[in-house]
Structure 1
């Protein structure tokens, strides 16, 4: 963490400097550990400069303008704006003189070119600031040499260097000399109180292009001679292609060809270690090649295909039965953490409270359906589109096509939604195999129906939570998880209430399904927080204690702990609890308004939320959510506010409405006319409050989603007297009460 002015030793290998450009200016490369992306059109013609050897660097022009190239994907989380702010702050330039451009995948110079896990700013906080500070010091050194003075007698501010005699030079005046100097071994970073860009709200650097419809997204990308492809995949998980009749499709005027793909995908899966991003379906797929997206989509609808059942055709009823059986011990659990003696605590208890919580599969429902451009030639594999894992995807494509990795070139576009779906490369592999087969540049575009019914889903999960009570105190806590295809990140064991209850155990068990599952916004915690914090609300009631006091008392048990497994800070959780209570007027009743509380830690950030519900036509309606966040230093308050509100609204919508089921392997929803996302008229007012901090930033794209489900559930209980244990809540208001042990 960076809380004060400090001397930093810079890793020279992560700081690449070139000599002066023939056209003037200096190039400085830096190693980004996380995300960022493209920018606005600068007043200088940067297209004439040679940037081919870099994909993430600073360009300082003779005019003093700064262009920052960043290599990581932008999925709406705002890192394309906030990450350049870190560099500009330490470089000490005016924000209006900074321009941002998107770089390509470059595995030689950069690591972790990934958009995921809400880790972009956290991982890049010091490296990017070091980059800016190092560039500034080089410019100061160049000015000092010209003046014949010590560099220590010079300072820089807003792109202007000044010495003790009052002489001034702009960055552009000395940029050529600076490009010839050695990279400083050590630099000084600013104290937080000296920030002039960090902590000030800045508009999205792409906002003008977004609102005027300029090409930014994968669907916008075009190349000369490009054709379009749409794919007919098995309608049910567990089926394979048997035969098909493409006569009607081929007769359509815009259809160019009909082919099948799948052989290379099967060879890759059989002969290589399958990447976690691949998520392959074991079936041939029918591809319609068209002159336009519309031609290809219409052609797919004209195909008559026969499918054969290859494995079990699973239904939601099957999953429910299997998960309940697993929770009851049909299969051995894996213990993730065990403190004390839970069995003894339960045996000696005066009372045991046990509840079961259920969540369905969920699709990602990105507004921009899956798509990708591919042009496979003898020289290279050129790929362009929206992907969260470009480096891993390049490796998989190279293996798939049996090409050298250095022949695979990926350009990243802005994404119309990711939420974890674009961590997976299946749609990129499809585009690559199609281009390889037809030997043409092709844009693969999924229909909304194809995207929703053949995707990668959040797995269905059930939690059984039990607590033992002795002499009015919580003495034991036992969490059991039964999940389709298991969890991904093993985050459960060391979050609250780990460490707060002496006898504490977390067990997991899973069922292997042929339905593809994966990360969904705030993986693991997106429903776990709802389950645990709903349980704690009921536990407080069973104990006869105030809900807020129960949390604060338990946190006292964690303060001063030496248990390095504990990932949350009890002090920071306490801070957001008190802030949420204050800002929501928690203890002050208001007629017709019912409140629910929740607090959670995930993705390195502490969040407390209070939801307010009113009854309309005998149904609960979420009117307001107050959200208190401790994410360390807030780099871009405007972007942070958008992230908080987006996460809360997304969480409210899926908790109330999100449902996805299967019948004999077939998804039962295929478009937004039947699958309900939250509508604008249903969105609550969201108030966000940030804890003032000088600690290094943490995640923000995901942490505000998990706790809101429980805040809503607890508010529904306050309004109706009924507990809800199954999402989506509004579809499951009449559920059978669990048995009190």
Structure 2
């Protein structure tokens, strides 16, 4: 296989190849390369169509296949990313089929589902992929007709000339493949978009409803065996020995093996593996009794008393602001560990042989996971192939490839293809949790203005991330100090949907509601005034846009008629910036059977250009429901190193009948898209808590609400 080379200012190139004589693959890559040849070889079948960032297959009948490179975890990128390519290619969306690409580190960049960055990161790459392929088709038609390419246009899969000539893409792909790659292409102006901004159904909807094999749990391969995993019962425990005699008597159990500090039961099916697992007797070393939720609470309180914090950001003179204040307002907000609880349990297929390592299943970080597997097995990463399945929920849990590594280690040891499947209890009791955290927030008030702001975070195993320190209200308050204190623990914690922001937003936005009461002003006006101050500061480190935040606030206030009297309806306001998007929300609560019930949430979002409004609305609604549900009901308790909530009979989630009506508005914009999978979650708990206060006078500062003051 040969590599196409060509000098380009944008260091971009296209490679084109025949597929079984029926079509052409167009792909784009953005390399740091130079000194490259200008022509495609004549022998097209000898080409290798790799090094793509996004790529397109066009059949000779004009049908188009677009490959979606990033993992699909329900955030809709398998639909929206191909929509962007199709827009610039200028084809009819109904004539496009979409396929999931496999991990291909040579040809794709950032095949990751995390941080709400898939669309934002690939926006220009995807557009240029479609536009470059479109230009090559135009050039091929111009040669065919002996006209200037600049006179030709495209429309819905055809190249058109003013003289009336018209030819379909399918009739041009072979000729287009032999042409020079254009060094410059013109992207569409947003006002001419025909696909982007229009509602498109999820490309997998039909397959999902028909039960097609999309998910890792569906995957089956002849000759494979099944494995169930046994982790230590307490965090940090070490495995000493195993008695598998009873487990081996279970019909279908083939063997029991040790994998590091874990035990794997190998069987002919999952049921036998799960039954065998219950019959294994294992002994472990002593539990560390300090790995306990109550102990962590005491340690966080101790940190607040001692003041032993790491400074993250400091503006102005905070000590002076507080010393001269007319009033100081101080509050503490807290939240427990949370499990991820994805609908689809952790699972992965692995087949490790002397010549290759085959992996298939649901993973948010395929490249990083493939690298880990290669390193742990002491193999070359080039020997690893990883196929991505549609993911039945991730929320950050599947950013960590621990279960993939376990599957690979098991296969390597038993010398068979294996499918590892977790039980719900496996993941809830030995999984990765949202960190347990407390926030102490203080504000200095002088002459009716906020002159100082001091935020302290005490957490168990939280990751320090300075970017959050550049979010609102940084840049909006003259004197500001943000500090953190991390308590180390064996309890495994990791990214949970909208990391850090998911609880920080609750603390800050609840605090600003309380602060507005102290200042005898509207909570909305307080935010608007602070944002106006941020505009005056023009802080170069500020991540958010005061103008865009003010716009979403004004929009949601108008949508919800905030502050106007609605009989029996109480409102709570919240606004937050995260994952590059600005969101404002108003929750409405009514008293039913003497209890506050959230009935409706208004939400305004500025996420730049909305690629697929149908998908974006679903993400907005899902984030709000997720935020409200976990704030209301969910908690993972750890006692002496052991997780106490093992399944849904103990770990409460929001139910369908408890989900509120949701009204979502998107700010019209020509700005590049920003995040959408996570930004609506962080402001939701505070909007709800502020509404409950309006309804009952009961201020909720600790999650979950149902066990921490909701009924008092």
TM bin, normalised by shorter chain, reads over 0.9
- What's 2:302 paired with? 325
With over 3 angstroms needed to count, the CA separation of the structure-2 counterparts of 1:52 and 1:676, relative to structure 1, is farther
Counterpart for residue 198 of structure 1: 196
Asked if 1 retains the 8 angstrom alpha-carbon contact of 2:28 and 2:128, the reply is no
Q: 1:711 to 1:10 in 2, by over 3 A?
A: farther
Of 328, 332, 336, the match for 1:360? 336
Q: Name which of 222, 225, 244 aligns with 2:223.
A: 225
Instruction: Work out whether 1:294 is the aligned partner of 2:271.
Output: yes
Q: Deviations over 1:250-276 (max 9, x none)?
A: 0011111111111xxxxxxxxxxxxxx
Is the contact between residue 599 and residue 661 of structure 2 (CA under 8 Å) also seen in structure 1?
yes
Partner of residue 373 from structure 1, selected from 325, 346, 349: 349
1:311-343 C-alpha deviation (Å, 9 max, x unpaired): 45511100110111112225x311111111011
Which residue is 2:469 aligned to?
493
1:413 corresponds, among 389, 393, 401, to: 389
- Shift, 1:30, TM fit: 2.5
Give the CA deviation at 1:187. Answer: 0.7
5 Å matches for 1:19-418? Answer: 19-21=17-19, 23-31=21-29, 56-262=54-260, 284-309=261-286, 311-329=288-306, 332-418=308-394
Query: Offset at 1:21?
Result: 4.6
CA distance in 2, matches of 1:439, 1:500: 60
Q: Does structure 1 retain, via aligned residues, the 8 Å contact 2:602–2:664? A: yes
The correspondence for 2:488, drawn from 484, 494, 512, is: 512
Q: State whether residues 641 and 688 of structure 1, in contact with CA within 8 Å, keep that contact through their aligned partners in structure 2.
A: yes
Q: For residues 52 and 632 of structure 1, do their structure 2 counterparts lie closer, same or farther at Cα, with a shift above 3 Å needed?
A: closer
Q: Unaligned 5+ residue runs, structure 1?
A: 1-8, 34-47, 263-283, 737-741
Where 1:328 maps in the other structure, the secondary structure is helix
Matches within 5 A, 1:687-706: 687-706=663-682
8 Å Cα contact 2:25/2:49 also seen in 1: no
The whole-number CA distance in structure 1 between the counterparts of 2:485 and 2:30 is 37
Supply the distance in 1 between the matched residues of 2:120 and 2:97 (Cα, whole angstroms). Answer: 22
Contact 1:375 1:440 in 2 (8 A): yes
Q: Does 1:503 align with 2:479?
A: yes
What is the CA deviation profile of residues 579-638 of structure 1, one whole-angstrom value per residue up to 9, with x for unaligned ones?
Answer: 010001112111211110000000000000000111223321111100000111111000
Cα distance in structure 2, aligned partners of 1:561 and 1:158? 48
C-alpha contact (below 8 Å) 2:27/2:49 kept by paired residues: no
Question: Secondary structure of 1:294's partner?
Answer: helix
Change (3 A) 1:671 1:391: same
1:238 touches 1:312 (CA, 8 Å); kept in 2?
Answer: no
Mapped to 1, the partners of 2:463 and 2:331 lie a distance apart of: 21
Determine the C-alpha separation between the residues in 1 that align with 2:97 and 2:9: 25
Question: Is the alpha carbon distance of 1:158 and 1:734 closer, same or farther for their aligned partners in structure 2, counting shifts above 3 Å?
Answer: closer
Aligned partners of 1:341 and 1:503 also within 8 Å: yes
Deviations 1:138-163 (A, max 9, x none): 00000000100100111110011111
Give unmatched runs, 5+ long, in structure 2: 1-6, 32-44
Distance in 2 between the 1:10 and 1:393 partners?
Answer: 33
User: TM-score when scaled to structure 2?
Assistant: 0.95
Structure 1 residues 488 and 109: alpha-carbon distance in aligned structure 2, compared to 1, 3 A threshold? farther
Q: Does residue 1:639 correspond to 2:639, yes or no?
A: no
- Residues 85 and 126 in structure 2, CA contact (< 8 A), matched pair in contact too: yes
| Superposed CA RMSD | 1.8
Once the two structures are superposed, the pairs formed by residues 689-728 of structure 1 within 5 Å of their partners are 689-728=665-704
Distance 2:346 2:387 in 1: 16
| Deviation for aligned residue 1:72 | 1.5
Distance apart, 1:696 and its partner CA: 0.9
The SS at the match of 2:530 is: helix
1:52-83 Cα deviation digits (max 9, x unpaired): 85775211111111111232211000000001
Q: Please say if residues 315 and 479 of structure 2, whose CA atoms lie closer than 8 Å, have aligned partners that are also in contact.
A: yes
Return the alpha-carbon distance in structure 2 between the equivalents of residues 49 and 210 of structure 1: 37
> May I ask how many residue pairs the two structures share in their alignment?
692
Task: Give me the whole-angstrom Cα distance separating, in 1, the residues matched to 2:392 and 2:47.
Answer: 30
The list of structure 1 runs, each at least 4 consecutive aligned residues, that deviate by more than 6 angstroms after superposition, is: 9-12, 48-52
Residues 650-673 of structure 1: CA deviation (Å, up to 9, x unaligned): 001001011111111111101111
CA apart distance, 1:299? 0.7
Match of 1:676 among 652, 665, 671: 652
1:497-519 Cα shifts (integer Å, max 9, x gaps): 11111001101110110111010
Kindly tell me: are residues 419 and 722 of structure 1, through their superposed partners in 2, closer, same or farther at Cα, counting changes over 3 Å? same
* Alpha carbons 1:28, 1:57 under 8 Å: kept: yes
Contact 1:32–1:128 (CA under 8 A) maintained in structure 2: no
Whole-Å separation in 2 of the counterparts to 1:450 and 1:11? 52
SS where residue 522 of structure 1 aligns?
Answer: coil
Determine the structure 2 residue equivalent to 1:598.
Answer: 574
